[in-house]
C-alpha cells in the first residue's frame, strides 16, 4: 500500500449512500429518529452543566476571583467558534460519527482514525471521571441523610474502601505516611488524604493486595448503560426530565443567592491578575465539554441539517449565561479566597447557615452528574458504530438492536470499558486527558472547515459558517500579542524565553525528597527557628508555606539541600514550555496562511483558541495523549487499514 492511501477520503455523497444501504440491511437496521431542536439543546445542557457548575467553578473562582467570568466568556467563545465548525459539518454530513466522520471528508483516513481514537479516549475518560464525581456526591448525600423514622439519625456511612479507587487510596496512604513523618498530625492532613489513608488501612487484604474499589461508580454506570441500551426515546425522556430538575435548582440558587450578595466581595475583581484567571483554563473548559456529543446523534434527528446547529448554539448560550451568573453570585456571597472547595454551591449556603439549600443542591448534583454520564455514554457507541461501518473496527460494533434501534453491542462494550477502570484507576490526570482529547478534536474540525472552504465540489448543507476574511484580523492579533508580551508582561516573557530556573513550592519539594532528608530538615528547623516551627506543630509543610518568598529561599539555603532539589531547571523546566512553543509556531503559520489563502476568521479563531487551551494543559498530558495515539496507530496498521471499506473497494475495482 502506498503512503497516499493513508489519506484516502470519503466524499459526502458516498457517506449518505452508505448509511441508506446500511439502514436497508437487516443485520444493521436503522436508528430511530426522535430528536428535535429542544431535545438536542437539552442533551447539550445535560452534558455541559455537570461537574463544572457543581465543583470546578469553585477552584477557578479561587484562582481568578470574580474576574473568572472573563475566562468563562473566553472559553464560551472558543467553544462557540468550534461549534460553528461542528454545525457546518453536521449540516453537510448529517450522520453519526461527529469529528471522526468530518475528518474522513476533509483530511482522509489516517487523520479520521486518529480523531476517532482520540474521541474514544475523550468519552471513555470523561465517563470515568463523571462516574467517580457522581459517586463522591452520592456518598456525601448518604452521609448527610437524616431519616429518624427509619433509625437513620446520623446518615448512611459506607466504608471508605468501597467509595474510592485503588490507586487514589494507595497514593494517598503513601503521601499521608510521608507527611506524618515530616511532623504533620493525621487530623491536620487534607480530608481527601485522610480518607485515602483510612480506605487503605481498613480495606480487606490478600497478602499485600488491598481490595479498594468504587462500587457506587459501578452502580451508576450499569444503570446508565442499561438506559442507553434501551433506546434513544428513553434516553431523551430521562435527559429532558433531568435537565428540567437541574435548571430549576440552578434558578433557585440564583433567586435565593442574589439576596445574599455583598458587592464588597467583588473588590478586588481580579486579585491574582491575568495569570490567576488563566490558571482555571482546564477546569473551566472541562465545564463546557459535551456539546460536541450532540453531533453523534445526527441520524436520530428528525431534521439534522436544520436542528443540529441550532441545538448546539442554544446549549452553549444558555450554559454560558448560567455559568457567569453563578460565578458572580458565588464570589458575591463569600470571598473568592474561601471557594477552593470541591462543592462550592453547597459550601456557600452552608457558610451562610442555609443548610436546607445545601441538601437541595446535593440532590441536584447527583441528577446533574447522571445526565452528563448519560450523554457521554450515548455518544461513544455511535462513534464506534461509524468507525465499524467504515471497516476500521469489527462489523459487530455497527450492529443495531432490532427492537430498541440502538447500537447494542457497542453500548455493552462501552459499559465495560468505563466500569472496570472506574473501579481501580487513579484519576488525578484524567480531567486534563479528557480535555486534551476534546480540544484536539475541536482543532481538527476547525481546520477541516478551513480545508474545505474553497472547494466547489463539496455538497453544502443548510448551515454555513459566516465568512470574514482572516487576513484583516489575524496579523493584528499576532502583533498585538507580541507587543503586550514584551511591554506589560516583559518580566514573565523573558523568564520564559531564557528558561530561568524556578523555585519548587513546599508540597512539591517535600514529596520529591526521601524520608531521611525530611527528618534532617526537621532537625535543622528545630535548631534555626524552633519557636515558629513549634508553633506550627513541627509541620514542615505548614511552616515553609507560611514564609514569604525571600525568607522561604533563605530558609531552603540553610537546609543543606541540593540545587536540583530546590529548583526546577534545565530540560525538565523547558519541557513544560514545549506545548506553548508549539502553539506560537502554529499561530504564526496560521497567520501566514490567512494572508495567502484568505482563510475564514471564525474557524481560525476556534482553532487558535482551542490550541491555546491545549498548550495550558502541560507536557505530561501531551505525552499521555501522544502514547494513546501511538497505540491507536498500532491498531490501525495491524487491523483497520487493510479492513477499511475504501481499501476493499479498491481491491474489488482492481480485480
User: pLDDT tens digits, residue range 246-269?
Assistant: 788 888 888 888 888 888 888 888
Cα–Cα distance between 576 and 557 in angstroms, integer? 25
User: HEC profile for 153-204?
Assistant: CCCCCCCHHHCCCHHHHHHHHHHHHHHHHCCCCHHHCCHHHHHHHHHHHHCC
For the ranges 26-30, 67-71, 405-409, the lowest mean pLDDT is seen at 26-30
Is residue 647 pLDDT above 70, yes or no? yes
Residue 306 clears pLDDT 80, i.e. is over it: no
Q: Which residue has the cell 507587543?
A: 483
Query: What is the spatial distance between Cα 107 and Cα 89, in angstroms, rounded to a whole number?
Result: 13
Q: Which of 209-213, 271-275, 316-320, 599-603 has the highest mean pLDDT?
A: 599-603
pLDDT > 70? residue 425:
no
pLDDT tens digit sequence for 594-644: 999 899 899 999 899 889 888 887 788 888 888 888 998 999 999 888 888
Task: Report whether pLDDT(655) > 70.
Answer: no
Q: Rounded mean pLDDT of 341-353?
A: 76
Q: What pLDDT sits at residue 653?
A: 46
Set of cell numbers at residue 119: 474521541
Report residue 476's pLDDT band, with 50, 70 and 90 as the boundaries: very high
Mean pLDDT of the chain: 79
Q: 311 pLDDT band (50/70/90 cuts)?
A: confident
* Strand runs labelled E in 559-647: 567-568
A 10 A CB-CB count for 646 gives: 18
Cell 496512604 belongs to 173
So what's the pLDDT on residue 62? 80
d(CA 112, CA 12) in angstroms, rounded, equals: 14
Q: Tell me whether residue 518 is exposed, middle or buried, using C-beta atoms within 10 angstroms of its C-beta: 0 to 12, 13 to 18, 19 or more.
A: buried
Mean pLDDT of 25-51: 69
Mean predicted confidence (pLDDT) in 373-397: 83
Please tell me the least confidently modeled range out of 102-116, 229-243, 435-449: 229-243
What domains does the chain contain, in order, with CATH numbers?
3-145+218-468+611-638 (1.20.1740.10), 166-212 (no CATH), 507-555 (no CATH)
CA 195 – CA 193 distance, rounded (Å): 5
Element (H, E) at 362: helix 355-389
Average pLDDT of span 500-508: 74
90-145 per-position pLDDT tens digit? 777 766 666 787 788 888 888 888 888 888 877 777 788 778 778 877 887 887 77
Per-residue model confidence (pLDDT) at position 26: 43
pLDDT class of 592 with cuts at 50, 70, 90: very high
Q: Indicate if the pLDDT at residue 588 is higher than 90.
A: yes
Residue 27 banded pLDDT, cuts 50, 70, 90: very low
CA atoms within 13 A on the CB side of 384: 28
Residue 152 β-bridge partners? 147
Q: Which residues pair with 301 in a beta bridge?
A: 35
With 70 as the cut, is the pLDDT of residue 20 above it?
no
Query: Which pLDDT value is given to residue 375?
Result: 77
pLDDT, position 591: 92
| Count of residues making up the chain | 655
Q: What is the rounded radius of gyration, in angstroms, for the C-alpha atoms of the chain? A: 26
State percent of the chain over pLDDT 90: 4
- DSSP symbol at 469: B
Residue 311 or 517, more confident: 311
- Judge whether 369 and 134 are in contact, CB under 8 Å: yes
Which cell numbers hold the place of 138?
A: 452520592
Check residue 634 and give its pLDDT: 92
Coil, helix or strand at residue 511 = helix
pLDDT band per the 50, 70, 90 thresholds, residue 652: very low
Element (DSSP H or E) covering residue 516: helix 515-528
Count Cβ atoms below 10 Å from residue 370 Cβ, excluding itself. Answer: 24
Of 16-25, 228-237, 334-343, least confident by mean pLDDT is 16-25
* CB burial of residue 514 (10 Å; 0-12, 13-18, 19+): exposed
Summarize pLDDT for 142-177 with one digit per residue, the tens: 877 776 666 667 777 888 888 877 878 888 888 888
Predicted local confidence at residue 22, as pLDDT: 57
Which residues, 6+ apart, have CB-to-CB distance to 323 below 8 Å?
52, 53, 57, 72, 76, 287
536-549 tens-digit pLDDT? 666 777 777 777 77
Q: Evaluate whether 411 touches 96 at the Cβ level (below 8 Å).
A: no
- C-alpha 55/C-alpha 345 separation (Å) is 8
pTM of the model: 0.77
Amino acid at each position: 500500500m502506498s503512503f497516499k492511501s493513508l489519506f484516502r477520503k470519503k466524499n459526502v455523497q458516498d457517506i449518505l449512500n452508505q448509511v441508506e444501504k446500511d439502514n436497508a440491511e437487516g443485520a444493521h437496521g436503522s436508528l430511530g429518529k426522535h430528536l428535535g431542536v429542544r431535545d438536542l439543546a437539552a442533551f447539550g445542557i445535560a452534558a455541559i452543566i455537570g461537574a463544572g457548575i457543581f465543583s470546578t467553578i469553585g477552584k477557578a473562582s479561587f484562582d481568578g476571583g470574580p474576574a473568572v467570568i472573563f475566562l468563562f466568556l473566553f472559553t464560551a467563545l472558543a467553544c462557540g467558534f468550534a461549534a460553528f465548525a461542528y454545525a457546518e459539518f453536521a449540516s453537510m454530513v448529517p450522520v453519526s460519527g461527529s469529528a471522526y466522520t468530518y475528518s474522513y471528508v476533509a483530511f482522509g483516513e489516517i487523520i479520521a482514525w486518529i480523531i476517532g481514537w482520540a474521541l474514544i479516549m475523550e468519552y471513555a475518560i470523561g465517563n470515568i471521571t463523571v462516574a467517580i464525581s457522581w459517586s463522591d456526591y452520592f456518598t456525601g448525600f448518604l452521609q448527610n441523610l437524616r431519616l429518624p423514622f427509619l433509625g437513620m439519625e446520623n446518615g448512611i456511612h459506607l466504608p471508605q474502601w468501597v467509595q474510592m479507587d485503588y490507586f487514589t487510596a494507595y497514593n494517598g496512604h503513601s503521601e499521608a505516611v510521608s507527611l506524618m513523618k515530616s511532623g504533620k498530625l493525621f487530623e491536620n492532613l487534607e480530608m481527601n488524604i485522610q480518607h485515602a489513608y483510612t480506605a487503605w488501612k481498613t480495606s480487606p487484604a490478600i497478602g499485600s493486595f488491598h481490595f479498594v474499589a468504587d462500587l457506587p461508580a459501578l452502580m451508576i454506570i450499569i444503570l446508565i448503560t442499561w438506559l442507553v441500551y434501551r433506546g434513544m426515546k428513553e434516553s431523551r425522556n430521562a435527559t429532558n426530565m433531568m435537565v428540567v430538575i437541574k435548571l430549576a435548582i440552578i434558578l433557585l440558587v440564583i433567586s435565593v443567592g442574589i439576596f445574599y450578595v455583598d458587592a464588597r466581595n467583588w473588590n478586588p475583581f481580579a486579585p491574582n491578575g491575568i495569570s490567576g484567571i488563566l490558571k482555571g483554563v482546564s477546569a473551566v473548559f472541562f465545564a463546557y465539554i459535551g456539546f460536541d456529543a450532540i453531533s453523534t446523534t445526527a441520524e436520530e434527528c428528525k431534521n439534522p441539517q436544520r436542528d443540529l446547529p441550532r441545538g448546539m448554539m442554544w446549549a452553549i448560550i444558555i450554559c454560558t449565561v448560567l455559568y457567569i451568573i453563578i460565578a458572580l453570585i458565588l464570589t458575591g456571597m463569600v470571598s473568592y479566597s474561601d471557594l477552593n472547595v470541591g462543592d462550592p454551591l453547597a459550601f456557600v449556603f452552608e457558610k451562610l447557615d442555609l443548610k436546607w439549600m445545601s441538601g437541595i443542591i446535593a440532590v441536584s448534583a447527583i441528577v446533574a452528574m447522571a445526565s452528563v454520564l448519560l450523554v457521554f455514554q450515548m455518544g461513544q457507541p455511535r462513534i464506534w458504530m461509524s468507525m465499524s461501518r467504515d471497516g476500521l473496527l469489527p462489523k459487530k460494533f455497527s450492529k443495531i438492536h432490532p427492537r430498541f434501534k440502538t447500537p447494542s453491542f457497542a453500548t455493552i462494550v462501552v459499559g465495560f470499558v468505563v466500569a472496570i477502570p472506574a473501579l481501580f484507576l487513579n484519576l488525578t490526570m484524567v480531567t486534563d486527558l479528557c480535555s486534551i482529547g476534546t480540544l484536539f478534536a475541536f482543532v481538527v474540525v476547525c481546520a477541516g472547515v478551513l480545508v474545505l472552504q474553497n472547494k466547489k465540489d463539496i455538497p453544502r448543507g443548510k448551515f454555513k459558517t459566516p465568512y470574514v476574511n482572516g487576513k484583516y484580523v489575524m496579523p493584528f492579533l499576532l502583533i498585538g500579542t507580541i507587543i503586550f508580551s514584551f511591554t506589560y508582561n516583559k518580566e514573565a516573557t523573558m523568564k520564559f524565553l531564557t528558561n530561568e530556573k524556578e523555585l519548587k513550592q513546599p508540597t512539591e519539594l517535600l514529596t520529591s525528597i526521601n524520608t531521611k532528608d525530611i527528618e534532617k530538615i526537621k532537625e535543622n528547623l528545630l535548631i534555626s527557628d524552633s519557636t515558629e516551627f513549634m508553633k506550627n506543630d513541627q509541620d514542615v509543610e505548614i511552616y515553609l508555606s507560611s514564609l514569604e518568598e525571600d525568607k522561604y529561599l533563605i530558609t531552603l539555603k540553610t537546609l543543606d539541600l541540593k540545587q536540583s532539589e530546590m529548583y526546577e531547571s534545565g530540560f525538565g523546566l523547558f519541557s513544560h514550555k514545549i506545548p506553548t512553543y508549539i502553539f506560537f509556531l502554529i499561530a504564526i503559520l496560521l497567520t501566514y496562511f490567512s494572508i495567502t489563502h484568505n482563510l475564514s476568521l471564525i474557524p481560525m479563531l476556534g482553532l487558535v483558541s482551542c490550541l491555546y487551551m491545549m498548550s495550558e494543559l502541560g507536557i505530561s498530558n501531551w505525552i499521555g495523549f501522544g502514547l494513546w495515539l501511538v497505540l491507536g496507530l498500532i491498531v490501525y496498521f495491524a487491523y483497520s487499514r487493510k479492513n477499511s471499506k475504501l481499501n476493499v473497494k479498491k481491491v474489488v475495482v482492481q480485480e
